[in-house]
Amino acid sequence: MSASPACLPTSPSGRVTPATVPISLGERSYPIRIGQGLLADPQTYAGLPRAAAALIVTNATVAPLYEAGLRQALAPHYAKVHTVVLPDGEAYKDWPTLNRIFDALLEQGCDRKTVLFALGGGVVGDMTGFAAACYMRGVPFVQVPTTLLAQVDSSVGGKTAINHPLGKNMVGAFYQPRLVVCDLDSIATLPPRELSAGLAEIIKYGPIADMAFLDWIEANVEALRAGDAQALAHAVRRSCEIKAAVVGADEREGGLRAILNFGHTFGHAIESGLGYGAWLHGEGVGCGMVMAATLSQRLGLVDAAFVARLAAIIARAGLPVAAPPLDAADNAGRWLQLMRVDKKAEGGEIRFVLIDGPGRATVRAAPDALVREVIAACSARA
């Protein structure tokens, strides 16, 4: 995949010039709009399916920051704009909280044309998308991602889900939004730890698809961590372009799309093994990428310098690179047990996304003994 120019141009107002990345999926195609000042602009939402009502789904942290702006932007388009505010946290990506969205829809008498708006990070986005897929067998929805992670990954591509105590994102559906609105201004209120978590999913696109993008990230990681609008604009746009190309080629993960899960097999084990919310999703992915790259090296697919370089970029992004202990008595055994629940596993055999040379990914199994060595080596990493 070819790289895009170093930065988006700036408009005369000093703002980043808005960009649109299309997702091409036939009749399920939609645009990803990227820019500043988009969230509270009524124009952003022109052209969506007509309906009597909209339901904003958000959480207790995001609502005070952005719900009023979105509500006033939607007012010209819908006679009624309702809001449901969910509790905040990965631990609430579950059935009882999902049910609160259905409660709100039914209590407000929402019909099958009602448009749902997911206002928040990946947790709100994944749950709102799943609710939209299920309510009256499917209503339209729009993603308004307010975290960096959601803007570069979770809001795009139509994977929706809730967690199960035995496994991450185990219950869900493929269901595409009608529009994704990435307002870069919302990143300004994001805590630094959450911003770093988003960088993990940005870094991921380099080793799997575009080493020139990894070079750019390496040179701009401090600007990204500082919230520089130009740098964020480029990172969000290039990430969405890569994701759009992969999803456009393999919407339902028949094969290629699995490469977007680089670092996730180890990362999901960390998330569920430590208890949802202890490590952020992006932190699990950051450490998981180091572990998956180390496994790639031990299989002879990349060299040690590649792994060291990737680990250094991940650490500079403010992410953990050392594997946490998941069980005092049988640590590697617990890791393997958790990873067997991964959606890529087939017949109990874990399948890893590995780097098959810089900028190229492959999905394959590895011997348990080698995986145990990798867990031990990455646990020891300072």
Tell me which residues are annotated as active site: 137, 159, 201, 243, 253, 257, 261, 264, 268, 281
**Residue of 119, 260, 332, 353 interacting with ligand GLY (CB under 6 A):** 260
Q: Which stretch binds ligand NAD (CB under 6 A): 38-46, 49-57, 61-69, 77-85?
A: 61-69
282 binds ligand NAD (CB under 6 A): yes
CB of 255 to ligand NAD, least distance (A): 17
Contact yes or no for 203/309 (Cβ under 8 A): no
- Please give the residues from 72 up to 111 whose contact with ligand NAD meets the rule CB under 6 A: 88, 90, 93
Residue keyed to tokens 């990894």? 214
- Please give the residues from 84 up to 103 whose contact with ligand GLY meets the rule CB under 6 A: none
Contacts of 30 (CB under 8 A, 6+ apart): 22, 23, 176, 177, 178, 179, 180
**Residue of 159, 234, 237, 238 interacting with ligand NAD (CB under 6 A):** 159
Q: CA–CA separation, 178 vs 28, rounded Å? A: 8
The residue of the chain with the least Cβ separation from ligand NAD equals 122
CB-side exposure of 179: number of CA atoms within 13 Å? 21
What would the two tokens of residue 206 be? 């380099």
**What 3-state class would DSSP assign to 1?**
coil
343 binds ligand NAD (CB under 6 A): no
**Residue of 153, 185, 210, 342 interacting with ligand GLY (CB under 6 A):** 153
Between helix 281-298 and helix 192-209 the angle, nearest 10°, is 30
- Of 170, 114, 115, 177, nearest in space to 145 by CA: 177
Total residues binding ligand NAD (CB under 6 A):
29
Which 3-state string (H, E, C) describes 207-219? HHHCHHHHHHHHH
Q: CA–CA separation, 357 vs 281, rounded Å? A: 26
Question: Which residue number, 153 or 241, has a Cβ lying nearer to ligand GLY?
Answer: 153
126 binds ligand GLY (CB under 6 A): no
- Please give the residues from 164 up to 203 whose contact with ligand NAD meets the rule CB under 6 A: 169, 186, 189-190, 194, 197
- Please report, as ranges, the residues that interact with ligand NAD according to CB under 6 A: 59, 61-62, 65, 88, 90, 93, 120-124, 126, 146-147, 149-150, 153-154, 157, 159, 169, 186, 189-190, 194, 197, 281-282
